[in-house]
Amino acid sequence: MPSGRTHLRIESMMLVLWGGGAALLLFREAIAMLQALLFVGSYLFSMLLMSPDLDLSSSGAFQRWGGLRWIWLPYAWIFHHRQTSHHPLLGPLSRILYLGTLGAAVTLVYVLARGGPNPRLRVSIQMIWPVCLGLYLPNIEHILADRILTAWRRKRRRRQL
């Protein structure tokens, strides 16, 4: 399994490629600047703070949460390492839904304290898909890197026997 630093290097290199693709789409006017910024911002957030290794208290992603890392303790108790957390679909989805549920609860309390929602705030599908893509891609890259290295090591061990 690659180290946390190796995962960050892989995901950083992929961000350069994905960012180049976003810049090309922006240049061709296929996407708006806000969509490109939402994608890159959510990718960076996911790369640094939403790793499949959040279920390990020693992981870099868990440590980067600093004083807020306690919010990931229930997640670590529910999802054990390299099980659901490393599933290509359920892993990223579980972290996005977990954090989204916490965020929605905090937002609801804030909105109720203010006396209601802001009618000028609108979220559209054009804003949601780049965020979801940016949150999902680093996770799938992490999982693929783990699987590729594990398969390569197994194959190498079989050859040595």
Residues of the chain scoring pLDDT < 70: 1, 161
- The amino acid at residue 134 is G
What residue numbers bound the domain in which 74 lies?
4-160
Q: What predicted TM-score, i.e. pTM, was given to this entire model?
A: 0.86
Separation CA 2–CA 125 (nearest Å) = 35
* Dihedral, 128, 135, 43, 13 alpha carbons, nearest 10: -130
pLDDT score for 122: 74
Question: Could you give the number of structural domains in the chain?
Answer: 1
Q: What is the chain's Cα-based Rg? A: 18
pLDDT in tens, 98-134: 999 999 999 889 888 888 777 777 778 788 999 999 9
Looking from the CA of 12 toward its CB, the CA atoms found within 13 Å total 7
pLDDT score for 1: 65
